Structure formats: C-alpha cells, structure tokens
Structure 1
Amino acid sequence: MPSKRFDFITLQEALELLDVSRSTFDRWRRKKQLPYTKIGKEIMIDKNELERWFKLHASKRLEAPDAERQEGRRTVAALQPLVVNVGYQSRWAQIWTALMMKELGWFEEELAKLIPERVVQVRWHDGAHGPALVQGMIGGHIQIASMGDYPISLAFSLSRLLPDFRPVLLAFDGKTAGGQGISLVLGNNVDIRRPSRTSDLQIATVAQSSAGGRLSGLLHRFGTDDARIVHRDLDECMADMARGAIGGGFMGEPYASLARHYGLGSVVGAEGLGDDFLSGVVMEESWLARHPAVGIAYLKAHLRVHRWVRRHLREAAELIARVRRIPVKVAEDNLAKIRWDAAPYAKDIAALERLNPGPEGAPPAFFMPDGEIRHDASFLMQAIRELRLPAPTEGPIGGDWSAEQLY
C-alpha cells in the first residue's frame, strides 16, 4: 500500500468550496494553473493541493516588491473579488433566458472578455416568484433580476416609497401576445362556466405575480367574482390540485401545460385578457453606475441566449427538460410560443406603465403614474454593437412587434 494519503474531492465539491462557476474554474485551470487530476472522464481535485494553490494566489500581492505594492494599493479595488448576485426564476417559461444563461456559462464568459483583470464571482438565486426577487433587490442581496411584468411594475411602485431603491429596466425578455402564457387550470370536477356555490371555489395563485395580477379580470369574465383566492407558490399549487385541495390555479407556463400533461384538470386560457404578457431584466441603478461593464456583459449573454433559442430550439428544449425535469415536448412547445426579444418597443413600456400592482385600498402614492418606468437602452445598444448585430432605431421602437426588430 502506498504511504501517501489521497484526499480527492469531486469537481462539484470544488466548485462549491471555491463558490465559482464551472467556466471560472476552467479559466483558472488554463490561466492560473489550478491543480486537478483527470481520472478517466472524471475531474478530481486534491484538497491539500487546492488549499496550497489558493493560499499562494491570495498571498502573491503581499510578496511583491515595494514599487509593486505601491501600484497594488492604487488598484486594490480591481484585485478584490466582485460578487454579482443574479436573481432568476426557473419556474416561469417566460423568463427561462437566465436559467439557460446560467447553465451555458455565457455570463461568466462575457465577464472574462470585458473585464479579464477582475475576479468576478457570479451567484445565482432561483426565486420562487418575482416578488421574492424584488425583496432581494431592495435588501441589496440581488443586483440583477429577471422578472415578469407585474413584479417589474411592483418594483418601480415601491421605489416611490423607498427613494434609495432605484431599479432600472435594461431590456425585455420573453413576450407573449394578449395574455398567452398564463392560464386558469381547473380541477376535473369543476365547471366554471356553470358554477354552483362559487363562493366555495378556491383558486390559487402567486400573490403580486404576473398571474395573480390578472386573475380577478378572468374570474369576472366568467361571472365568478365570489370565488375565494388563496395564495400559493407554483409548486404548492400543483400539489394542492393533485390532492383535490383546491378547485384550480391561475398559473404561468410551463405549469399549465404540465397540469394538462398529467391530467390534473382542464386549462382555460387567458387570451384576450388585457395587455401582452411581458418580462424583462432589471438592475439597481446605483450599483449599475459603479459596474457598467457587468451590465453590458449580462446583456450580451442575454442576447446570445435569445439568438440560440431561435436557432436551436430543440437543443434549448433538451437543456430545459434536463434541468427542470419536465418532458422535452412541454419545454419545446413553450419555448416555441414565446417571442424571445430584448428590444424595447414603445407599446411594451406603455403596457408596463398601465399595470397597477398595488393591493386594494393602497394609498394613491403607491400607484405608478405614467412615465414612472425608468428605462435605459444605452447598455443594450452597447451590447448589440459589441455582438455586431444590426442596431435598432434610437429610442423605443414604434408600432407592433416586427420580425425584423428582434433581439
């Protein structure tokens, strides 16, 4: 038996220990000689060697000559790791861009191109719903968030009450026309068109979400305003429907498609109910002013994912199916129905400004007046130029969605 004691850890354990992505790990292997051992197809890391490597790189600046230390003091900010917290929602098909970006490692890739001299740690936070990401942004725990239209509108409304919180909309994401992408799913024993004792009917939805904000209008259409609304996360809603604990749920995709796929109930679409269903990328304005290159890097990755989905739909669906553990057909059908477009159309911004995410009885100051959505297209324009894409017209694009103005 050899006397040397091996203390190997797996690649995933090393990623968690260093708190970095796979793309960052690979870059450090190439450029900073991070130690690793390949055993067959598996990458293993000696924990003791990894610890020595980490200490060596952490102490290099301290061992430099005086002149170098003086220079180092002037650039100390660049030597400190920059932590970027990204909020995404793997449960909403409309906002799958960030999930795909995370899995592909393209944000980290663009960061390495734009600011190669800076160590950046990207931390991904999978929010159960949009309001949770808004809360994270207010608390300073999230700097970049992908959200649906009602949470975006909620963020800007709350910024009126919290002057230090200044969100800015940088780009749009998935879009569907006329309320598509959100549906009412009713249990197999419920017929909402001929309701009896509808006051006993419980409909679940996520509070302050893009679905929840539209529910009252849909129930009014069917004359069931007295149905009881209960607030559930999407996973809880599906579980309660499967148990028959609730009459139905008003939910976004892919949950409506999954309910149909597994025979949990019938789907009543929300087409024609109000404005288009939109989503977008929001960042905190003061943080973005300090780190503009990070914003541009994120939007470059955002645009790349959109283009990839349009060109490689099946491959994108297989990625989503693997990560979310849903049928490939469900993932592909949903990806195909969504317009993956970052472009700011004037009608999209107007639709956001018409939303009223405030609860009943909220003071007038809570409601969002016209023009309250702060939108900055300059970062998106820079990302478009760096990717050498045809530049759109300056300012929001007029008219209806166009196949030529698609980003």
Structure 2
Amino acid sequence: MTCKKRTPPRRSAVAATAVALLLPLAGCGGDAEAGDGSTVTVTVGYQSKTINTVTAGTLLRSLGYFEKQLNALGDGRTYKVNWQDYATGAPITAQMTAGKIDIGSMGDFPLLINAARGTQLGRPTRLVSVTGYNLRGGLNTIVTAPDSKLSSLKDLRGKKVSTSIGSAADGTLVRALQRAGIDPQDDIEKLNQQPAVGASALSAGSADALSQFVAWPGLLAFQGKAKALYDGAELNLPTFHGVTARQDFAKKRPAVLEAFLKAQSQATDYLHDHPVSASEKVAKATGLPAEVVHLYNGGHGIATFGLALQPRLISALKKDVAVLKSAKLVGDIDVDAFVDDRYVKRALGTSAYAEQLAAAPPATASEVWPEGATETRTFTSPSALLRHVSAHKASVRAAYVPDTTTGTLWFADKAVWVADKDALLPFVTAAGARAYAAGHEGARTLPYAGALARAADAPEPS
C-alpha cells in the first residue's frame, strides 16, 4: 500500500485540530514494524517554516544525523525515517494522538494543547527537549502595514487583528493588549487565520495588524510588507519551541528516542559552529530568504538553541496554561507530568546536560553579513556597524542590530533609530524609540538614512 500524507485543510489552527481529531486516518506512519521485527519506520512531524524547530526538523533532516544515529544502534533492525512537514503544530498533535506520528516539534502553546489532547484521548505525550527559545519573548511580534498610521498597541482598539488562535503569537497578543488596558475579547476584532492567510490579509488591508510567530514578522519586514508595532520581548516572558513524543513510543523504543535527541544535539552543535551554513541550508529547504533565517537562528539571533528543559521555560509554560484556559482551548494541564527529561539526560550525559542548564544566553551584538561571505562580522556597537555599512554599502548582504531596550535583533534598515548625544541607538518599534527619546533629554528619532549619514560623519573612536 502507498501511504500519502493528508494535506490539512486551510482553516484555523484550532479548527484544524478539532477536525483532524475526528477524521479517520489511514494506516500509515507511526512506529511501524515488519512482521519479523527487522524493519522499523519512525515518523517525525515537523514544521519546516517554523524555523526555531530546525534542530529537530529542517536542519536535522538535511544533515541526516538521525538516520546515522539509527544505523549506529546495531540492534539488528533496519530503520526508516518518515519525515512529515506541516504548517502548524495542530495537525502534528492530531496525528500523534491517533498514533501516526511518533515524534513532533512545535511551539510552547501548541505543546500545551498537545499535552491536553493526549491526556483527553488516552494517548499521552511527553515534552522531551527544547529547540529554540528567547527568554524575553522576542520570537513573537505584532506588525502592521508599512504605511499604517497605527503607532502603538492602544491604536488597535476597534481594529481587525489577525493571529492563529492557540499559538504563542496569540498568547503574546492577548497579554500585550491586557497590559495596554485593552480587552482582547471585546475591544478588537480577532481574525483566526493561518500565518500565510494573515499575511495576505494584512497586505490586502482586510486586517489592520498581524500577530505571528517566527519567521513571519521578520519575513514581512524584510520584504517591505510590514513594520513592527510591538516587540514580544517587551513582555519579558520566555517563549520556546520543543520536541514532544508519544509516551507509548518512548517506552517501547527508548533507544530510538535517545538516538533522535543525540542527533538533535549534533544539529544544534552544527548550527552553533556553522551559523551561516545552517541558515543557507534552512533557506534552501524552506524557500525563506537566508537573511531572515539568520535573523532568528544566527550566532546572535533572536533565538537561542539548546536541548535542556530549563526550569524558567517550564515555569513560563505553566503560566501559559491560564491563557489557553481563558480561550476555552484546554482545561487543567499537569505540566510537571508532561515534562520528561529522562531521555535527553541519557542522550547528552549528566554533565553535558547540567552545563546546558547553567549556560547563559549569548550576548547581543551588532552583525554584518557581507556578500559572498561564509562568516559574519560583529561590531561592538550599532554605531560602529553603521560606520561600516556606510563605507561598504555595495558589499553588505544584511545588517542586524539589537533593540536598545529588549535586545531583540532586527534588520538595521528596518529599525527605528534614535540619536542620543554621540550614540546611535536602534529599536524594533517606533513606540520603543519614542519612549526612549522621551526619557532622555536631547535624544531624537531619525530615519535609517539619517543614521547612516550621521555615522559616516562621526569620527572613529580612539
């Protein structure tokens, strides 16, 4: 029999989950084994364009590390990996709870729905590792059209805002609006749309703003189709992506799950050691611009990659439950029972795992990607980067700078700049720049071209 992956219908993430759970599924995928036990197929669900899962999906697949780890098991079996690519976490959860996907990766809010559905349907799943994370929440951003007159969250009152209900981006929207004194239920018209649909709605003018997760905000900004209205890192709440496995699969094939986690660790090392090459590989596999991939996944990108199930990430996950409960998407969730670090500890080793738990996120830095280069160049300050760019405009492929307040990396030419005495300071949003300027006498905002010109005229620091 030839197995064909069902293409999920184009509908909301929540509706897709509900429908998928009710549909009969073909007898394909999952932990399939030949009658003699000699051949085992392991099915992995991933999201190629949710690029903070690449070490458990796109990049891992392109490097072939999982297959190599399986071949090295030496248990007399032949292993085959069935990679299934989806746009969101909802259909992965549907397939997992039907026993058709063994291992999946998704963002923190979908992970909670994964836990809830697994418990509800008697197919429990377990969170076994982390992929990419940002301790302040910078992986989610609210954007508007480039010519939009909206300048702050308060301007969203009465407006149409597109998001994917049940996603981390929706969680950012809800929390940000609540902090701004706006009721996310009554004061805006929320459009429940897949990211691509929401991006089209923003461009067409049928949505006033879009709240989405990596890599959509960066992609739309890079393409000149959006500007940032709100940086999710302003919430200062961690957001992350992780790997979930069916509990029955983990118990039946612990060596296979550990092989996956060892391979994920290798892919993470590759991303750290070869950030430009990794960005190029992910770009080739997904069709995303490499410059956008690097914004999130580069050496100083918005995301930090590591497998450890850090207490502060798990604590944030527990806080996320209340947001999903208020939207009536889940009931109570036993997060502690959902988290299972046994497999990743065995895969990495006790000392290596402890090192990851204790590791500090990399320091922010300004970064230039020269045309044709296999390595990027970092600078001590955004002002130093601007001086370099002004002198090498024709040879700069991309330039990135960290937000002065939140540290979120952004494209230098899309940032809002503030001149404060001799310093040139970048911000992801105009609201962030205005807030800084208002609190610093003599500081003023200026466009990118003005910042470049000012940097070019400034003397080199001694």
Give the TM-score normalised by the residue count of structure 2: 0.64
2:279 corresponds to: 317
Deviation string for 1:203-247 (max 9, x for gaps)?
111121111122111223344431111111111112222222211
Q: 2:94 aligns with which of 120, 135, 145?
A: 135
1:218 corresponds to: 176
- What secondary structure, in the 3-state scheme, does the structure 2 residue paired with 1:355 have? helix
Q: 1:82 aligns with which of 28, 32, 40?
A: 40
Cα distance in 1 for partners of 2:312, 2:288 equals 33
Say whether 1:191 aligns with 2:191: no
Cα distance in 1 for partners of 2:220, 2:354 equals 42
Cα offset for 1:169? 1.4
1:55 corresponds to: none
Cα offset for 1:148? 0.8
Cα offset for 1:287? 1.4
Cα distance in 2 for partners of 1:194, 1:112 equals 52
Cα offset for 1:330? 1.5
1:65 corresponds to: none
2:251 corresponds to: 289
Cα offset for 1:196? 6.4
- What secondary structure, in the 3-state scheme, does the structure 2 residue paired with 1:250 have? strand
Say whether 1:242 aligns with 2:203: yes
* Matched letter for residue 296 of structure 1: E
Cα distance in 1 for partners of 2:125, 2:258 equals 16
- What secondary structure, in the 3-state scheme, does the structure 2 residue paired with 1:271 have? helix
What 5-or-longer segments of structure 1 have no aligned partner? 1-16, 20-74
Say whether 1:95 aligns with 2:59: no
Deviation string for 1:9-56 (max 9, x for gaps)?
xxxxxxxx999xxxxxxxxxxxxxxxxxxxxxxxxxxxxxxxxxxxxx
1:375 corresponds to: 339
Using a 3 Å threshold, how does the CA distance of structure 1 residues 367 and 250 change in structure 2: closer, same or farther?
Answer: same
Q: 8 Å contact 1:174–1:280 — kept in the other structure?
A: yes
Deviation string for 1:130-162 (max 9, x for gaps)?
222212211112110111111111222334433
* Matched letter for residue 175 of structure 1: Y
What 5-or-longer segments of structure 2 have no aligned partner? 5-33, 363-462
Q: 8 Å contact 2:150–2:156 — kept in the other structure?
A: no
Cα distance in 1 for partners of 2:83, 2:219 equals 25
Q: How does 1:336-351 map to 2 (within 5 A)?
A: 336=298, 337=301, 338-351=303-316
Q: 8 Å contact 1:172–1:342 — kept in the other structure?
A: yes
1:179 corresponds to: 137
Q: Which has the higher contact order (CA 8 A, sep 6+)?
A: 1
Say whether 1:118 aligns with 2:77: yes
Using a 3 Å threshold, how does the CA distance of structure 1 residues 197 and 239 change in structure 2: closer, same or farther?
Answer: closer
Cα distance in 1 for partners of 2:324, 2:202 equals 28
Say whether 1:272 aligns with 2:234: yes
Q: How many residues align?
A: 323
* Matched letter for residue 167 of structure 2: S
Say whether 1:169 aligns with 2:127: yes
Say whether 1:204 aligns with 2:169: no
* Matched letter for residue 273 of structure 1: L
* Matched letter for residue 117 of structure 2: L
Cα offset for 1:115? 4.2
Q: 2:324 aligns with which of 338, 358, 382?
A: 358
* Matched letter for residue 261 of structure 2: L
Using a 3 Å threshold, how does the CA distance of structure 1 residues 264 and 377 change in structure 2: closer, same or farther?
Answer: same
2:65 corresponds to: 106
Q: 8 Å contact 1:153–1:353 — kept in the other structure?
A: no
- What secondary structure, in the 3-state scheme, does the structure 2 residue paired with 1:220 have? helix
Cα distance in 2 for partners of 1:191, 1:260 equals 16
Deviation string for 1:357-384 (max 9, x for gaps)?
5353749x81225x54432222212222
- What secondary structure, in the 3-state scheme, does the structure 1 residue paired with 2:340 have? coil
* Matched letter for residue 271 of structure 1: A
Structure with larger Rg: 1
2:429 corresponds to: none
- What secondary structure, in the 3-state scheme, does the structure 2 residue paired with 1:91 have? coil
Using a 3 Å threshold, how does the CA distance of structure 1 residues 393 and 316 change in structure 2: closer, same or farther?
Answer: closer
Moved more, 214-223 or 294-303: 214-223
Cα distance in 2 for partners of 1:273, 1:93 equals 22
Q: 8 Å contact 2:135–2:238 — kept in the other structure?
A: yes
Q: 8 Å contact 1:88–1:126 — kept in the other structure?
A: yes
Cα distance in 2 for partners of 1:236, 1:366 equals 28
Cα distance in 2 for partners of 1:362, 1:185 equals 26
Deviation string for 1:143-189 (max 9, x for gaps)?
10111111111222334433x22111111110112111110011232
* Matched letter for residue 352 of structure 2: A
Cα distance in 1 for partners of 2:354, 2:60 equals 27
